[in-house]
Amino acid sequence: FDDTLLESGVRLSLGLKLFDDGTLSLAQAAKLSGVGIEAFVERAGAAGVTIVRTTPEELDEELGVIAQHSRRG
């Protein structure tokens, strides 16, 4: 391993951890990791880190809105 490779891996791991525990936003974690948001999302998925965190209550609310709109159309 060279220092650059090691540093980038440490930065990504730190970014993933701090995003996963809610300390950093998606954009902040991507910046810390030294990658764009899309690349961070891909790496987070590969690492098993959830990006979208919807509570059951929020999901019920969203589904209710969708159901209302589909009845209108």
Amino acid code (one letter) for 7: E
Residues 6+ apart with CB under 8 A from 26: 19, 37, 40, 41, 51
Q: Estimate to the nearest angstrom the gap between the alpha carbon of 1 and the chain centroid.
A: 28
pLDDT, tens digit (0-9, with 9 covering 90-100), for 1-26: 577 767 778 999 999 999 999 999 99
The pTM score is: 0.71
45-59: pLDDT as tens digits: 999 999 998 999 999
> What's the distance, CA 68 to chain centroid?
29
